[in-house]
Structure 1
């Protein structure tokens, strides 16, 4: 059998994801935020006034997990829930001033990490790689 797990696309993607997530997590640690919390906070900032279900879809998490993350972000003072004017039973999510200030700090950190990941890789190869990843995601 001539098969190497280390050459499996799924294995390589998983390994790369775990390494990059660990690196980003270590850089976010001083700000008391995880990469998962950042993903939710970033999407609330980008799409203010969305509901929890929409955020869950944007971050590819189930609703209970998303709810726990939002609870934490709210407790830390970075997001707030407001009652929807259209439906009093629904809550919409908004970023706070403190949350926006944190995003302004974290996005450059995340961008710098992406730059480090692409170091030494020609731009055309990086674009081809991103295209290939999007095709793999579509296949999934």
Structure 2
């Protein structure tokens, strides 16, 4: 299911002349303005060089900008520009459409229960140290 959802998101992003990876970058910078590229790379679980290339493309489009960190001149902080607003609106419209489709298929109570169950599982897996898991 995750693969199908990624494929659909890729297709929708392409309609806007973008990639799903660029969407992810924009979403994180919207949630956490001022992230460094290294912080962003850790959040999206890719190498910093990969984030750097994505940021280069978004910066060239005028959607994102790098600003100097006032405390450490080696760090550049990522911020959205006003040109990002229409892109973020389209991304949100896509997310809303997905949620509506899921609610139509499952019904809102079941969708809420599923979302809560998945969040609980994720929380448990994140909190549980890998060394404490039993194999087999």
CA deviations 1:62-110 (Å, max 9, x no partner) are 3222222212211222111011111111100111111222112221122
**Aligned partner of 1:33 among 18, 43, 57:** 18
**What are the ranges of 5 or more consecutive residues in structure 2 without an aligned counterpart?**
127-136
Q: 1:130–1:62: structure 2 CA closer, same or farther, 3 Å change rule?
A: farther
Q: Which whole-Å CA distance do the structure 2 matches of 1:137 and 1:42 have between them?
A: 20
TM-score (norm 1): 0.78
Residue number in structure 2 paired with 1:17 = 2
Q: Which whole-Å CA distance do the structure 1 matches of 2:62 and 2:80 have between them?
A: 9
Residue number in structure 1 paired with 2:130 = none
Residue number in structure 2 paired with 1:89 = 74
Residue number in structure 2 paired with 1:45 = 30
Q: Which whole-Å CA distance do the structure 2 matches of 1:110 and 1:25 have between them?
A: 13
After alignment, is 83-92 or 46-55 more displaced? 46-55
CA contact (8 A) 2:102 2:111 kept: no
RMSD: 1.8
CA contact (8 A) 1:45 1:100 kept: no
CA deviations 1:7-31 (Å, max 9, x no partner) are xxxxxxxxx0111121222222221
Residue number in structure 2 paired with 1:8 = none
Q: Which whole-Å CA distance do the structure 1 matches of 2:54 and 2:89 have between them?
A: 20
**What are the ranges of 5 or more consecutive residues in structure 1 without an aligned counterpart?**
1-15
Q: Which whole-Å CA distance do the structure 2 matches of 1:134 and 1:18 have between them?
A: 19
**What is the aligned residue count?**
125
Kindly state the Cα deviation for residue 34 of structure 1 after the two structures are TM-superposed. Answer: 1.4
Q: Which whole-Å CA distance do the structure 1 matches of 2:19 and 2:92 have between them?
A: 13
TM-score (norm 2): 0.80
CA contact (8 A) 2:67 2:76 kept: yes
